[in-house]
Amino acid sequence: MKIIALAYNTFREAIRDKVLYSLIFFAVLMTGISVILDNLTIGEPTKIIKDFGLASIEIFGVLIAIFVGIGLVYKEMERKTIYNILSKPIHRYQFIIGKYLGLVLTLLVEVLTMSIALFTILYFYEGKIAVALLPAIGMIFVALMIITAFALLFSAFSTPILSGLFTLSFFIIGHLTPDLLELGKKADSLPARYLTKALYYVIPNLEYFNIKGQVVYHVPLKEGYLYLASLYGILYISVILLLSIVIFQSRDIK
């Protein structure tokens, strides 16, 4: 119940943030712009709407995770409200988990809002709800949960500016990990090969959750792919949250 209360309060604070409403507005606007761009598509006009809409959900979801997530712990420290919270019978791990779940709930609202907007637009074109996009949206949400975990991790020990830069870096590098491994294979230096291979396994492979192209162009996925990808995401999130708890536990807050 303590974790739920913290999550609910975090969610209420996040949805009051003007940044969140601005990002959702622009996300819906970008999806609407895709309708105009569909004239550039040769063949099926809805493909560019689907591609553009899914990309908008991911991009603006990442922005929300960064702008809101990096200040979750820092704002509590700056406002001195952290002392009131921790003076109550609340453990630090409950504080971290509650904050994380609150932001995940905020992201869920953003994803649902964007998805409804996208489905509505596609319904006017196809006369049916594009349920085929649900796997891609689900994978986007898992990837956003990972980015959120990183934002909370960096927020536990760093300033908002540095936390934002670190989180954005992990998002960019996470989509380049397959290229990083290939680059290491071509390196002449043996330490460079080991380093790139280590980074490949440490940094989350966000491309694993990128199935937008397969869904839009009707490319079948491997059997059990969604389950394995979801399990990979959950395990990674668990490790990052555990690391966040350890760091936050070690901080001297008096």
Q: Mean pLDDT of successive 10-residue segments in the chain (254 residues)? A: 76 70 68 66 71 85 83 67 66 82 88 85 80 91 92 83 86 81 72 76 85 85 90 92 86 61
Decide if 205 is inside a domain.
no
Residue 106 lies in a domain: yes
Q: For residue 50, is it within any domain?
A: yes
| 194: number of Cβ within 10 Å | 12
Closest by Cα among 63, 59, 69, 11 to 34: 59
Q: Rounded to an integer, what distance in angstroms lies between the CA atom of residue 215 and that of residue 186? A: 32
Is residue 182 in some structural domain? no
Question: In this predicted structure, what is the pLDDT of residue 144?
Answer: 93
Q: What is the pLDDT of residue 66?
A: 85
Is 129 part of any domain? yes
pLDDT, residue 38, reads 62
Tokens 């507005």 locate to 25
User: By residue range, what is the domain housing residue 163?
Assistant: 2-175+210-250
* SS3 label, residue 156: coil
What pLDDT, on the 0 to 100 scale, is given for residue 35?
A: 66
User: In total, how many domains does the chain have?
Assistant: 1
Q: Quick one: pLDDT at residue 140?
A: 93
Task: Please tell me the predicted confidence (pLDDT) of residue 253.
Answer: 60
Residue 190's CB: how many other CB atoms inside 10 A? 8
Q: How far apart are CA 124 and CA 113, in angstroms?
A: 17
Residue 191 falls inside a structural domain: no
* pLDDT score, position 73: 67
Structural domain contains residue 105: yes
Task: Give the pLDDT confidence score for residue 235 in this predicted structure.
Answer: 93
Q: What span, in angstroms and rounded, lies between the C-alpha atoms of 237 and 235?
A: 5
235 within a domain of the structure (yes/no): yes
What is residue 190's predicted lDDT score, i.e. its pLDDT? 74
Tell if the pTM clears 0.95, that is, is over it.
Answer: no
Q: By C-alpha distance, which of 209, 200, 202, 228 is closest to 142?
A: 209
